[in-house]
């Protein structure tokens, strides 16, 4: 299994605080002979809909020397995991977890905007200080 991301526990705690149950840490995927590990799997019951939402969360620190290289890396993993999830657990929605400061610098830039506009990524934006979810992009139904 791969090394845990620096913000692994921050995101885990933020999800729990938001009403999610962590079901997988990490979430293992398998296609052919290849194993892949997404950082977290989580589930939440939406009482209003009487059914549950299932997500997979890949956490990216964006602590490399270049935002663009970090973005390639995150985007490549996201697209690959997305397509493998579609084949193997199609009801689980994938999110890339990034810090609020990364969201502001990378995803509010023209390149980040373009990728979001094209539906290439879905984001879970979190605050390190508060260990809390700041927003989902696009928005998902709230638990209330």
Among 27, 74, 125, 133, indicate the residue that binds a copy of itself (CB under 8 A): 74
What sign does the CA torsion over 136, 107, 78, 8 have?
Answer: negative
* 115 sits near a copy of itself (criterion: CB under 8 A): yes
* 125 sits near a copy of itself (criterion: CB under 8 A): no
Classify each residue of 35-54 as buried b or exposed e, where b means 16 or more C-beta atoms within 10 Å of its C-beta.
Answer: ebebbbbbebeeeeeeeebb
Alpha-carbon distance of 71 to 76, in angstroms, equals 8
For the bound state, the minimum distance from the C-beta of residue 68 to a copy of itself, rounded and expressed in Å, comes to 6
Kindly tell me which of 14 and 38 has the beta carbon lying closer to a copy of itself.
Answer: 38
Among 27, 71, 97, 123, indicate the residue that binds a copy of itself (CB under 8 A): 71
């Amino acid at each position: 299994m791969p090394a845990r991301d620096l913000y692994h526990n921050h995101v885990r705690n933020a999800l729990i605080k938001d009403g999610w149950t962590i079901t997988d840490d990490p979430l293992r995927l398998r296609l052919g002979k290849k194993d892949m590990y997404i950082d977290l799997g989580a589930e939440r019951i939406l009482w209003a809909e009487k059914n549950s939402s299932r997500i997979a969360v890949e956490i990216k620190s964006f602590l490399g020397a270049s935002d663009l290289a970090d973005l390639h890396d995150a985007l490549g993993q996201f697209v690959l995991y997305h397509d493998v999830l579609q084949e193997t657990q199609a009801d689980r929605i994938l999110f890339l977890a990034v810090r609020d400061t990364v969201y502001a610098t990378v995803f509010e830039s023209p390149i980040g905007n373009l990728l979001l506009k094209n539906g290439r990524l879905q984001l879970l934006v979190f605050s390190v200080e508060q260990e809390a979810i700041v927003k989902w992009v696009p928005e998902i139904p709230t638990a209330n």
